[in-house]
Amino acid sequence: MTVRTTVLLVDDQELVRYGLRLVLEAQDDMAVVGEAADGEEAIRAAVRLKPEVVLMDVRMPGKDGIAATREIVRRLPDTRVLVLTTYDLDESAFGALQAGAAGFLLKNTRPDEMVSAIRTVATGDAVVSPRITSRLIEVAVPHLVAGKPEQAGLPELSELSAREREVFVLVGRGLTNTEIADTLHLSESTVKAHFGRILTKLELSNRVQAVIKAYELGLVG
C-alpha cells in the first residue's frame, strides 16, 4: 500500500483550494485531509488533523499566513509549512521563512513543481535551494540585524563546536552539503550530522532559517 503524504490546504479563495485539491488528489502518494480559508481556521485545522504538510497562502484577511505559520510550527514541529506567494522574493515570503516555513512557491508554479516541492518538504528538507536562499537573503538584508557582532560574545555560537561553526558558516554562504563536504574534507553523512546538531542547538527548523540566522549573527554578509 502506498504511504500518502497528508496535506492541509490554506487559501482564502475557494477556487484556488479546489484547483490545488484536484492536482494533489491525482497523486497516488498524497491525500488532502482538510482546507482552511484564513489563518485562525488553518491553526485549528492543523492542530486537529496534524498534516505532514500545510500549503499556506501568505496574504489572507484576518490572521495572515505568516502568523499562522509561526503558530503551527510552534505547536506542531513535525508539520512542514510550504507558503504560497504571488511575488518572487517579496517581503511576505521572507517573513514566512523567518516564521519557520520550510520554503515558498509562487502561485504560478507548474503543478508538477508544486507536487515535487511538497514531496521534498515532507522528507524534512527545504524547498528553497541554497543558491536561491542566498538570493533571498540578499533581497532581505534590510530586514536583518545591522552590523557584525563579535562572534565570541554570542551565546548562540557558544553552543556550537568548532567544526559545527565551520559548517554553519558555509551553510550561511549557500553551499550544499556536498560542497561543504568537499571544502572541509568530510563525508557528506558527517556534514549532515553536524548540520542536524546545529539546527537542534540553535532551535532552528530548516536550512532556510539557518542561513537567515547566519546573517543575523554576522557570520556572513
Average pLDDT over residues 173-188: 87
Mind listing the pLDDT tens digit for each residue in 56-93?
998 888 888 999 999 999 999 889 999 887 765 556 66
Per the CB < 8 A criterion, the answer to whether 144 and 212 are in contact is yes
* pTM of this structure: 0.69
Domain boundaries, the chain: 5-127, 140-216
Please give the C-alpha separations between residue 217 and each of 43, 105, 155, in angstroms, as whole numbers. Answer: 31, 27, 11
Give the Cα separation of 46 and 95 in Å (integer).
20
100-160-208 Cα angle (round to 5): 25
Compute the mean pLDDT over every residue in the chain, rounded to the nearest whole number: 82
Please enumerate in sequence order all residues whose Cβ is within 8 A of that of 81, keeping only pairs 6 or more positions apart, or say none.
53, 54, 56, 69, 72, 73, 96, 100, 101, 102
- Smallest CA-to-CA distance from 164 within 183, 134, 189, 191 is with 191
Assigned CATH for 5-127: 3.40.50.2300
Residue with cell 508539520: 79
Two domains, one topology: 5-127 and 140-216: no
Mind listing the pLDDT tens digit for each residue in 21-51?
999 999 999 999 999 999 999 999 999 999 9
Q: What are phi and psi of 143, to 5 degrees?
A: -90, -5
| Stretch among 10-24, 99-113, 143-157, 186-200 having the lowest mean pLDDT | 143-157
Q: Which residue has the higher pLDDT, 95 or 4?
A: 4
pLDDT recorded at residue 62: 85
Q: Which residue has the higher pLDDT, 78 or 126?
A: 78
Assigned CATH for 140-216: 1.10.10.10
pLDDT recorded at residue 80: 92
pLDDT recorded at residue 154: 59
Mind listing the pLDDT tens digit for each residue in 140-179?
555 554 444 444 445 677 888 999 999 999 988 877 788 8
pLDDT recorded at residue 39: 93
pLDDT recorded at residue 213: 83
pLDDT recorded at residue 133: 57
- Smallest CA-to-CA distance from 173 within 187, 186, 184 is with 184
pLDDT recorded at residue 3: 75
